[in-house]
Amino acid sequence: MPLPAEFADLEPYASWALPTEPERYAKRLASTMEEMQAFYDAALPRLDDAIAHCDALPWDDLPDDARSLIHLMQSLVMVSFPVEVWKQPRVPDSGAAYLNLIVEPVV
C-alpha cells in the first residue's frame, strides 16, 4: 500500500507498513540489524511529521495511505528497542518467551 505523497522518501521502507503486531514482530525477527538501523534512521526524523499528518485526518474515515503510514510508524516503535538498546532483533535473555497480542489497536 502506498504512503502519502509527502512521505515518498519512506517508500523504500514500505515493506515495514504491516497491519498487525505479529507481522511487525516477525519482520523484526527476520531482519538484520543493518536493515532495522536503516529503517530507523530514515523513519525516526519523520515521526513528528507523520503524527501531525495523521492527526489532521478524520479517524473514522482514514485514507488507506495514512493507515499505511501509521503502520509504518508502529513498525518504527517495534524496532526502536533493538536499535537503541539491545543491538539485536530479539529481547535479550528472554529464551523462548514471546508476547501474543490478542486485540490489535484500532486503526
Question: Residue 11's pLDDT band (boundaries 50, 70, 90)?
Answer: very high
Question: Residue 94's pLDDT band (boundaries 50, 70, 90)?
Answer: low
Burial of 44 (0-12, 13-18, 19+ CB in 10 A): middle
Q: Yes or no: say if 43 and 72 are a contact pair by the CB < 8 Å rule.
A: yes
Is the Cα dihedral 18, 23, 27, 29 positive or negative?
A: positive
Q: Phi and psi at residue 103, in whole multiples of 5°?
A: -130, 130
Residue 87 has a pLDDT of 76
Question: pLDDT per residue over 17-76, tens digit each?
Answer: 999 999 999 999 999 999 999 999 999 999 999 999 999 999 899 999 999 999 999 999
Look at residue 85 and tell me whether its pLDDT is greater than 90.
no
**pTM of this structure:** 0.83
Look up residue 17 and give its DSSP letter: -
The residue written with cell numbers 528472554 in the block is 94
Residue 40 has a pLDDT of 98
- Domain residues of the chain, as ranges? 5-86
Question: Residue 99's pLDDT band (boundaries 50, 70, 90)?
Answer: low
